[in-house]
Chains A and B, each alone.
Chain A
Amino acid sequence: MTTAADNSTRPQRDWTAMLTVPAVAYLAVIYLMPLVWLLTKSVSGPDGFSIEPFMHFFSDPYSWRVMTNTVTIAVGVTLVCLIVGYPVAFALAWSRGIVQAALLVAIILPLSIGVVVKAFAWQIVLRRDGIVSQILVGLGIWSEPQRLLFTETGLILGAANVFLPFMILPIYSVLKLIDPHLREAGATLGASPLYTFRHIVLPLTLPGAVSGIAFVFSMSVSMFVIPSLLIGDRFQTLSTLTGRSFLLMRDERLGSTTAVVLLAIAVAIVLASTWISRRLGGRS
């Protein structure tokens, strides 16, 4: 941050940084202050500063189960989004005119539908006599109808549905910047389409995939409403546990501890993905 004094010798002051004042003020009140409160709360015992809540949290096997649940679900959601979203980004980037517009609407429009509304749709789709179960039985993959609702698989499928656009769009935006002649150049140099994909297209889309992964992972690691609606109390993640601690158990200490652990995981992901992107970007 530059201060006005730094620039006093310059003939012209640069006021560009002032443009961020509303955003900074907003975030300070809405985000920074509660965060500081939360962090303080997580390290304060009855006699002042204490890391005892963390010691207690990490020594409890139940905490580890919750953390494993959280990360497993997030990894699953991210993988489903990557596998489904990566090809879609290509379809979006390489299609033209009305087809492209239709694809874009199909990807963006569901974002405007609330998660609660979607959750009810999934309840219909994922229940024992729902369409997914019927199809799998029809195909002979399942011997008898099963319920996907209130299972981990159901949660992963539902969450991936919500977060898919956040995987597609960063990959699409990187793809759009790739000179279409690069693939042709690969072909005229004697590279098969597969070789060209492996050595040109894939490396150039990696930064997009990394930011997509970071988006989806950090959102699914901290989602609260979707697991509450799709799996219920039986299965706890860090954010549902945080919510329960504050809202139901009135245990602010546990709540702020789990919140800070979750925050640490999210920050680690953001830092790691930024670092990976930089490295990939440095090469490309």
Chain B
Amino acid sequence: MTASANFLRVNAARKSFGQVLVLGGVDLAMPRGELVSLLGPSGCGKTTLLRIIAGLLAADGGTVRLDDRDITTVPPHKRDVGVVFQSYALFPHLTVAENVAFGLAARGRPKSETAKTVARFLDLIHLSDFAGRSVRMLSGGQQQRVAVARALAVQPKLLLLDEPFSALDRKLRETMQIELKRLLRELAITAVFVTHDQDEALVMSDRIAVMNQGCIEQIAHPLTIYRRPATPFVLGFVGLSSRIDGRIAAQSGGEVAIDTAYGRIAARANFAPGTRAIVAVRPERLRIGGDGLANSIAVRFQDLAFQGSKALLHFDAGPSEQILVETADLAADSLKAGAEVTLSWAVEDTLVYPGPGEGAPS
């Protein structure tokens, strides 16, 4: 089996509800065994895309191919695409084991084989002792595991998960994320995971597709998404950042110099001189003090948000700007409001985006 990059291939998927464009021609390609998150705010079209892949919703245009088969018009029950619903959608009149067995029974698998598969999956989710219980008697976390086992028991080609952790409390959610990721890895499942929670996406995914207003803004490895966000939206949606307005002063050999209210800043980018730009840096990349790093600015300390293992320092900035520093050095809390501080960072940590009203980088 070649690691085809096109195990799942969504081409130019479009969908409108009435006058509202929900999906504006989305492309998505995934190799076998990959776990991709669709991350975005509510209303960005991520669930719509998921439902189109599952066949629960007909797209207005575009195609869906899975394992070299065009499934665009194939009804959901013939697609071999499993879904874990946000509400879990467990069958309330059936027991835990009957829920897990449902798909196998519907496909007419022999009883002995079904029983064996059910036992194996109940064991995988550590619910063997609950086989005969009504699903209504289970806790939220247990129900969620049954929903996953039920979807996996039929060994679908592709598993879709629609915000499967949103109903769980934070602590349980973190445990379940790790547990589910391990299970999906073990079974080599290809999965698409819808979430609005960036931490969840960062933890779970091989790649994250950040969606906004019916388009995928960027699809990349979580580290790339965080370190090198492709658009200001991705920058703002995933993680925190310091942002300063500026104007390109000079460009040469893949480097630009940007004039800002805090002085000149250097970055690796290609922009025509004169264009307005937004300069951004991740908060943990900023150092307090000179340190001999290429870029440095002098700013006034405003206040501090203590977060346990780390602290976020806020500095005075312009109305559309924001200057944040994340530090684990808690001596920083000795800073007085209004104190002047020098912040510095490396050129390669400097992100540049076209300013308001400017086109994409040349």
Contact = CB atoms under 8 A, between A and B. Distances in A.
Same assembly: yes
Contacts of B103: 189-191
A190 B76 CA distance: 7
A45 to B, nearest CB: 52
A279 to B, nearest CB: 12
Contacts of A9: none
Interface in A233-282: none
B83 interface: yes
A111 interface: no
Nearest to A189: B103
B276 interface: no
Contact of A189 (B87, B92, B151): B151
Contacts of B77: 186-193, 196
Contacts of A204: 92-93
Interface in A169-200: 179, 181-182, 184-193, 195-196, 199-200
Interface in B104-162: 106-107, 134, 150-151, 154, 156
Interface in B60-100: 75-83, 85, 87, 89-93
B102 interface: yes
B328 interface: no
B151 A203 contact: no
Given A195-B106, A199-B102, A187 B89 contact: no
Contacts of B89: 179, 181-182, 184-185
Nearest to A191: B106
A96 interface: no
B56 interface: yes
A195 B90 CA distance: 16
A193 B151 CA distance: 17
A184 B92 contact: no
Contacts of A191: 77, 102-103, 106
A185 B94 CA distance: 14
Given A179-B89, A284-B92, A284-B93, A188 B82 contact: yes
Contacts of B278: none
A238 B239 CA distance: 77
B93 A190 contact: no
A179 B87 CA distance: 9
B211 interface: no
Which among B93, B103, B151 has the highest number of chain A CB atoms within 10 Å? B93
Given A200-B91, A283-B93, A284-B93, A188 B151 contact: yes
B54 interface: yes
Contacts of B150: 185, 189
B362 to A, nearest CB: 45
Nearest to B147: A185
B66 to A, nearest CB: 13
B102 A186 contact: yes
B154 to A, nearest CB: 6
Nearest to A177: B92
A194 to B, nearest CB: 10
A187 B56 contact: yes
Contacts of A187: 55-56, 75-77
B95 to A, nearest CB: 9
A182 B83 contact: no
A94 to B, nearest CB: 15
A188 B81 contact: yes
Contacts of A284: 92-93
A284 B85 CA distance: 20
B154 A189 contact: yes
A186 B92 contact: no
Contacts of A192: 77, 106
B80 A185 contact: no
Interface of A: 179, 181-182, 184-193, 195-196, 199-200, 203-204, 283-284
Nearest 6 pairs between A and B by C-beta? A189-B103, A191-B106, A284-B93, A181-B89, A185-B89, A187-B76
Given A182-B91, A192-B77, 19 more contacts: A181-B85, A181-B89, A184-B76, A184-B85, A185-B83, A185-B85, A186-B77, A187-B55, A187-B75, A188-B79, A188-B156, A190-B77, A190-B80, A190-B106, A191-B77, A191-B102, A196-B77, A199-B106, A283-B134
27 contacts: A179-B87, A181-B87, A182-B89, A184-B89, A185-B85, A185-B150, A186-B102, A186-B106, A187-B56, A187-B75, A187-B76, A188-B77, A188-B82, A188-B83, A189-B77, A189-B103, A190-B77, A190-B103, A190-B106, A190-B154, A191-B77, A191-B102, A191-B106, A192-B77, A199-B106, A200-B91, A204-B92
